[in-house]
Amino acid sequence: MNDIMMPHLPDGFAEPWQAQIFAVTVALNEAGFFSWQEWADVFSAQLADSKQKLARDLDGSDDYFACWENALKLLIKSKDIVAETVWDDAMEKWRAAYTQTPHGQPVYFPE
């Protein structure tokens, strides 16, 4: 990583999910599921694609981490880190959890 690519927020991450997805990415890399170069290639492509679609620079917060999330999803799927059926089941459970959670309340992933 370099200073050009990382958002600069005075207090660190803007939202807890941003820190979590960052940590998951680093953990998967350190566990050997993908190289940092593979990650950088996929993430860079997501950043370029998003910047082109938005027709503006990314603000370094939600839009930046949306690219991060999309890149991680692509790597997880392309590397078969999680079976497609397990992924789909988890996504459906997550959708059900957040659509049934009152606004402003924490969403809990069902076990």
Binned at pLDDT 50, 70 and 90, residue 2 comes out as very low
- Looking at the fold, whether 73 and 87 belong to one and the same domain comes out as no
One domain, residues 60 and 44: yes
Containing structural domain, residue 64 = 16-80
Residue 65 and residue 27 share a domain: yes
Question: Of 65, 80, 76, which is closest to residue 20 (Cα–Cα)?
Answer: 65
Total-model pTM: 0.71
Judge whether 32 lies within some domain.
Answer: yes
Residues 68 and 103 in one domain: no
For residue 75, is pLDDT > 60?
yes
- Alpha carbon dihedral 34, 35, 36, 39, in 10-degree steps, equals -40
Q: How confident is the model at residue 50 (pLDDT cuts 50, 70, 90)?
A: confident
Band of residue 24 on the pLDDT scale cut at 50, 70, 90: very high
CB 40 within 8 A of CB 54: no
Do 26 and 55 lie in a common domain?
yes
What is the percentage of the chain residues whose pLDDT exceeds 90? 36
Tell me how far apart the alpha carbons of residues 41 and 47 are, in angstroms, rounded to a whole number: 10
pLDDT of residue 1: 46
